[in-house]
Structure 1
Amino acid sequence: MAKKMLAIVAAAGLAAAGTLVGGAGAGDAAEHVVRTDAGRVAARSVGDALVYDGIPYAAPPTGALRWKAPQPVQPWSGVRESKVGSVCAQQPNSEAPDGSVAEDCLYLNVSTPAAFSTKPRAVVVWIPGGGFFSGAGSSYEASKFAARGDVVVVTVNYRLGIFGFFGYPGLPGSGTFGLQDQQAAMRWVQRNARAFGGDPRNITVAGESAGGMSVCAQLTSPTASGLFAKAIMQSGSCAFNWADNSQYPGQTADSPWVPVSRTQANGKEWAAGKNCTTIECLRGLKADILVDDLLQFTQIGYGGSPVVPLSPAKALRAGLFHRVPIISGNNHDEANGWLAAFGDIKDYPALVRNMVGAQKAPAVLRHYPQTSYESPAAAWGAVTTDRIWSCTQVAADQQAARKVPVYAYEFADKHSPIAAPGLGAAHAMELPYLFRLGGYDFPMSDTQQRLSNQMIDYWTAFARTGNPNGLDRPQWSPTGVRTVNGLSLAPTDQGGIKRVNLTTEHQCGFWTGLSTPAISGGRPE
């Protein structure tokens, strides 16, 4: 989740893609201009797609609008060119090497096939990941996804960190402003989809990592009712949580969801350090002061507003979610991206004890003996992948599958073009199979390119119909409830696409028995 683009966008160099020619199947064919409800926008041509970058979907949340629900955008005259908008305020990272102090950042980007269509296309709204403190919709250039899949793709920015998830006593919407932005973007899509040749009645909300967690939060949000017809959660779900010392040394057990009272108490304490006793005083602080403390607010506050009235984990367990088909999955070696945080791993048993405690450690060490792995680091990667990522996703799949079709998967290419040697199918390694990250086409082998095509075909068939199946790819069946069966997605030279029992593959029965509340999305242990 955090830092996932270090290898990705650094290599991409955030290269600009395409040339400014513009267009849309439903716009002015001569000028490639589309009229939205707030003004006209022009496109640029990228491969077989037309891309409209930097469209504002809400008013800049600055000044008196900081920490308020997103407001309508001011209409403009003339034609806006296709130009990436500012990324939301964040500290320096690979997607924003210089960081950003921009609060005027509520922009989205639309990619649509250049080819004419006689009927409206399905729409995919992509919510980027980044730990709720970094990332931007513009990092996910969607031209190949849109053109090959014959869908309209919308990638969005939303407020991050202290700007998106701050809370303060008496502040309406505390801890949920980023989620409210995502909903405002989906409402914009419903109003404007037809202008880009899209079907406002056939919207799929999708995301990876914090984006996947956002999707699950939207699945359980009453105020998101009717905004989408399908959902895709990649490497993130309502049940996601972590144990002590499992992602980073010294990190305490927690989840992305916290009671709003905790968010507000943290906000009051933070405000006192800035000599502010009112929200008006806090709104007067310069953005760079807030960016310095961005990471203090990266969890969604529940229980304080209709946006997130319950913990998404509790809501999903209780069946309180929108009845839409779901694609849900992980990467095979998800947690390997965090191994570097633990340095040169030599004492694997000590790491296990620090995670589960001395009483439970022997059971984990018997179930994951170091002798079964090539190194202590590989053993630790397997333990933390299964405990933090795979089995929480499996639990969410089981809960959702009681009510709706859930298509489960595991990305298993151990040699993704963005994977460092030995990293395997770690967190975020599937992203270049769907998007041109930073506008860059990462080199792939023939078998990897075929896997990329098949994944786009699965994802976009699902967006169109709610069923991912079609020609030139193995059958994908919805999972059952007791055991989560899905597809392993790998190139043919690594076994190809095949069925996999994800419950067994990641030892989820063991983890459920060891720590039932944590794996099911309850209190982390």
Structure 2
Amino acid sequence: MHGDVNGNTNGEVTHMRRVLTSMGCALAAVLATAGSAAPPARTPPAGTATVRTHEGLVRGAVHDGYRTFEGVPYAAPPVGALRWAPPRPATPWTGVREATRPASACPQTPGEVPGGSTDEDCLHLNITVPGSADRARSRPVIVWLHGGGFTTGAGSSYDAHRMAVRGDVVVVTVDYRLGALGFLAHAGLPGSGTFGLADQQAALRWVRSEIGAFGGDAHDVTLAGESAGGYSVCAQLASPTAVGLFDRAIIQSGPCTGRPDRPFAPSSVPLSTARATGAGLASKVGCGSVRDVVSCLRRVDVSRLLAAQDTDQQPAHATPLLPTDPAEAIAAGHFHRVPVLIGNNHDEGNGWAAGIVQAGYPVTPDTWPDVVAAFFAPPEQAKAIVREYPVHRTDGGPVFGAAIGDADFACPTARTDELLAAHVPVWRYEFADEHAPPLTSGTPPFPLGAPHASELPYLFDLGGRPRDLTAAQHRLADTMIDYWTHFARTADPNGPSADPNGPSPDPNGPSPDPNGPSPDPDGTPSPHWPRQTVLSLVPDHVAPTRTARHRHHCAFWDSIG
């Protein structure tokens, strides 16, 4: 790479982008699910509990203060003729189905799932219920969609018992088809490009129908997700076939207004682009020139498909499930009118930048223009970005990370907030614990701050293993769980524990409760979260901030489109 961006050939830039995008996406998958590759380290269950669903009886595990039901099918196995078909209802069973261990993850290469997975019988969900059976009342339900670039991840990686117990909610984590098996597009395939999103909708329909048997309120369902899971929530907000399937939405680091021409934030692509990608996959596995391409593809071994698919995947729009790009739909106000909690992390791009630097691509004053040209803009805009984000030393990694985070996460999240807030109540946060527990082993080339996925250990025990948090970080985790679960219960994160005497609320926002809140179980009220501002989530300093747009150069990114 050389300093003059105008001196690069298209081939050099394309090659660099492919190499670094592959690196970045692989790193993102590790970050988004760090710690989950290890087997769960939960205390052995104290007993079992049996619940009747419409498909049959399921036997889950009783733990100290909560119950789990794992590997419960919500749709038929998408195998054989059902590979690349819309999800079908699960087949009823006789007897009692064991639900004390996670089922197989959807097919993916090794990473989060040790050894990967080639098991297509993967349309399952996991349910965490606080306390013992209580038929007298129903609890709010949070349905969680995992991240991983639409190519990796598993619902079972997210141990939700802390959220379920502290928040007194039922948490459902979902496995959905990934990679080419979830998002292949071909002219002869109904549902092309959106099979994974259709799976998510099937899981939501199952929740509406069945969750009452587990103590959940089928009429109080919050759809939540992070990264690709967060973008999935955006897609479901814009999907006409998701009408009535959920009542609130939580979007973490999955901005609805991301762009497919930038490789880090998840987004959707036109159906024509997805079909071209599908044609390339068919050619790679020897099905490109046969008469019946779909039948040929359905006979290809899963491992061969995984080896041939692109590193990153996106859902397709201009489809029945997703007629319009979610970014366009939300800009036009064409989305489901539900309250939204949305946010990003302060240093969202640092993990990618660190991985790319460690892969042997240093960011220096000489190489920086080429990196910008490869990732952010055409030549006429690249020079402006280099001026806005100058690299003065050989260590330009943090500058690269800031540009990724600002362009692909912080500013699109701010734009999404503004568009949604014109129609529905919206609360926006920025997770900013610069000492968040590291998500990967080893020493990064520069401090990562609060990178992509670093908020997850505050909500879940990833892989069933609690992270090593300080006392202040534990308090922040409790505060976040309180906000998330109060939002699920009342459509307002300021539940009965919000402190009206905490940080000054936005004068244009709602007034605090004059009667005062009741304290949390630990006696510490959460600060009031105004609607017309950003809540900065920092240990022992949760407070509204008005500087997020300026800090992330959003006026600049808005100016260059």
TM-score with structure 1 length normalisation? 0.89
- RMSD across aligned positions (CA): 2.1
Paired residues in the alignment total 490
Question: Does 1:443 pair with 2:443?
Answer: no
Within the candidate set 80, 86, 95, 1:63 is matched to 80
Question: Does 1:199 pair with 2:217?
Answer: yes
Determine the C-alpha separation between the residues in 2 that align with 1:55 and 1:255. Answer: 28
User: SS state of the match for residue 67, structure 1?
Assistant: coil
Name 1:390's counterpart in structure 2.
Answer: 410
Question: Does 1:418 pair with 2:438?
Answer: yes
Within the candidate set 259, 264, 280, 2:275 is matched to 264
Determine the C-alpha separation between the residues in 2 that align with 1:448 and 1:400. Answer: 30
Aligned 1:314-325 pairs, distance under 5 A: 314-325=328-339
Within the candidate set 234, 259, 274, 1:241 is matched to 259
Question: Does 1:228 pair with 2:228?
Answer: no
Identity %: 45
Aligned CA distance change for structure 1 residues 415 and 47 (closer, same or farther; 3 Å): farther
Name 1:183's counterpart in structure 2.
Answer: 201
Aligned 1:422-501 pairs, distance under 5 A: 422-470=447-495, 471=497, 472-479=525-532, 485-492=533-540, 495-501=541-547
Determine the C-alpha separation between the residues in 2 that align with 1:423 and 1:374. Answer: 17
Name 2:56's counterpart in structure 1.
Answer: 39
Write the letter of the residue equivalent to 2:415: A
Alpha-carbon contact 1:48-1:144 (below 8 Å) kept = no
Within the candidate set 374, 385, 389, 1:368 is matched to 389
Alpha-carbon contact 1:175-1:260 (below 8 Å) kept = yes
Name 1:502's counterpart in structure 2.
Answer: 548
Write the letter of the residue equivalent to 2:255: S
Determine the C-alpha separation between the residues in 1 that align with 2:373 and 2:305. Answer: 37
Name 1:288's counterpart in structure 2.
Answer: 303
Aligned 1:135-174 pairs, distance under 5 A: 135-174=153-192
Question: Does 1:129 pair with 2:140?
Answer: no
Name 1:250's counterpart in structure 2.
Answer: none
Q: 1:297 offset after TM fit, Å?
A: 6.9
Alpha-carbon contact 1:242-1:388 (below 8 Å) kept = no
Q: 1:256 offset after TM fit, Å?
A: 2.4
Deviation digits for residues 79-138 of structure 1, max 9, x if unmatched?
222110000000111x11201111000010000101555321000000000000000000
Determine the C-alpha separation between the residues in 1 that align with 2:61 and 2:202. Answer: 25
Alpha-carbon contact 1:88-1:104 (below 8 Å) kept = yes
Alpha-carbon contact 2:348-2:409 (below 8 Å) kept = yes
Alpha-carbon contact 1:337-1:427 (below 8 Å) kept = yes
Name 1:29's counterpart in structure 2.
Answer: none
Alpha-carbon contact 1:169-1:265 (below 8 Å) kept = no
Q: 1:258 offset after TM fit, Å?
A: 1.2
Determine the C-alpha separation between the residues in 1 that align with 2:156 and 2:490. Answer: 27
Within the candidate set 332, 346, 356, 1:332 is matched to 346
User: SS state of the match for residue 68, structure 2?
Assistant: strand
Deviation digits for residues 466-523 of structure 1, max 9, x if unmatched?
00013211111223xxxxx21010102xx444434432231211110122xxxxxxxx
Determine the C-alpha separation between the residues in 2 that align with 1:455 and 1:449. Answer: 10
Deviation digits for residues 230-279 of structure 1, max 9, x if unmatched?
000000022112656x75xxxxxx96211112222332343244134321
Determine the C-alpha separation between the residues in 2 that align with 1:366 and 1:80. Answer: 61
Name 1:303's counterpart in structure 2.
Answer: 318
Aligned CA distance change for structure 1 residues 49 and 2 (closer, same or farther; 3 Å): farther
Question: Does 1:378 pair with 2:392?
Answer: no
* More deviation, 96-105/260-269: 260-269
* More deviation, 177-186/45-54: 45-54
Name 1:76's counterpart in structure 2.
Answer: 93
Determine the C-alpha separation between the residues in 1 that align with 2:306 and 2:46. Answer: 36
User: SS state of the match for residue 526, structure 2?
Assistant: coil
User: SS state of the match for residue 297, structure 2?
Assistant: helix
Deviation digits for residues 326-358 of structure 1, max 9, x if unmatched?
011000000001012243322334433543344
Deviation digits for residues 58-98 of structure 1, max 9, x if unmatched?
100000000001011111122222110000000111x1120
Name 1:523's counterpart in structure 2.
Answer: none
Determine the C-alpha separation between the residues in 1 that align with 2:327 and 2:305. Answer: 29
Determine the C-alpha separation between the residues in 2 that align with 1:330 and 1:398. Answer: 14
Q: 1:366 offset after TM fit, Å?
A: 3.7
Runs of 4+ in 1 over 4 A off after TM superposition: none
Alpha-carbon contact 1:476-1:487 (below 8 Å) kept = yes
Alpha-carbon contact 1:12-1:439 (below 8 Å) kept = no
TM-score with structure 2 length normalisation? 0.83
Alpha-carbon contact 1:258-1:302 (below 8 Å) kept = yes
Determine the C-alpha separation between the residues in 1 that align with 2:75 and 2:308. Answer: 25
**Runs of 5+ unmatched residues, structure 2:** 1-24, 498-524
Alpha-carbon contact 1:85-1:107 (below 8 Å) kept = yes
Alpha-carbon contact 2:529-2:544 (below 8 Å) kept = no
Q: 1:50 offset after TM fit, Å?
A: 0.7
